Structure 1
Amino acid sequence: MLSRIALAATAALLLTGSVALAQDPIKARQAGFDDLKKAMGEIKDALGKDQVAAVAPVAARIGAFATQIPGLFPPGSDKGKTGAKEVIWANFPDFIAKAKGLEDAAKILTAAAATGDKAATGKAFAAMADSCKACHQRYRSE
């Protein structure tokens, strides 16, 4: 009986946390982009240490986040402490396309890393970084 209560309490806490996160898309996207920045550093470090195999799971993590990006920018989430430019919502189809571009670049990087070819992986990493820059230039206030 006690374990059911503990399980129910844990589930309630998890759901409450998810709801709170969903209610604040600015915090959710900031956390996601902070992790993206960290992941980019992890890939750069791995390539610098000739640890190409370590790149694939990190690139996959970036790809998974990229699929979430459009949903982290619901209408009205342009107010408050955010680096997001208002032009995101005015050009949302292009913004979605840029997020898809990051997702695709991450998939290419994941595949390149899986081959163990450092040169191809480095090239794919550079292309993914360019994908990030393309979105930042238009949609992010620095």
Structure 2
Amino acid sequence: MFSRIVLAASAALMLTGGVALAQDVIQTRKAGFEDYKKAMGEIKDAVGKGDLAAVGPVADRVDAFAAKIPGLFPPGSDKGKTAAKEVIWANFPDFTAKAQDLQASAKALKVAAASGDKAATGKAFGAMADSCKACHQRYRSE
């Protein structure tokens, strides 16, 4: 009887710990996406002002975050206060591919900005925004 109580208590602690870990990762990814949103605004402002030199470092920030996105969605992190749709985990390879698309578009934006061509940079920024939108349409609840 004692071993059943210990087993039940251990299971409850592990479950509670799992919920806490899920909430931690949800908070981490929310902070990351808030910074990403801020980065998009910074890039838009820089391109609008023609300050293409400012675009590269921010595109690097987006690139680095995009590389982390799949790891911010471990199984079980669909519970709690999150806009993540359950379909993420059912289609994780596609979700990961969309994060890789964002990463590639951030790299392309950096290259375009480094060229000094404002039109090409604007086009690359639009492509990066489109990669963001493609993921949100499928995987984020509004």
Judge conservation of contact 1:84–1:140 (CA < 8 Å) in 2.
Answer: yes
Judge conservation of contact 2:60–2:110 (CA < 8 Å) in 1.
Answer: yes
Matches within 5 A, 1:8-87: 24-87=24-87
Aligned to 1:4: none
- Which letter maps to 1:52? L
Find runs of 4+ consecutive structure 1 residues off by over 2 angstroms: 20-23
Judge conservation of contact 1:67–1:100 (CA < 8 Å) in 2.
Answer: yes
Matches within 5 A, 1:74-113: 74-113=74-113
Deviation at 1:24, TM superposition (A): 1.1
Deviation at 1:22, TM superposition (A): 8.6
Distance 1:132 1:71 in 2: 17
Judge conservation of contact 1:22–1:28 (CA < 8 Å) in 2.
Answer: no
Deviations 1:11-46 (A, max 9, x none): xxxxxxxxx989711000000000000000000011
Is residue 138 of structure 1 aligned with residue 134 of structure 2? no
- Under a length normalisation based on structure 2, what TM-score does the superposition of the two structures give? 0.84
Deviations 1:30-82 (A, max 9, x none): 00000000000000011111111111110110000000000000000000000
Deviations 1:77-123 (A, max 9, x none): 00000000000000000000000000000000011111111011000
Distance 2:22 2:61 in 1: 20
- Under a length normalisation based on structure 1, what TM-score does the superposition of the two structures give? 0.84
- Which letter maps to 2:73? F
Aligned residues: 123
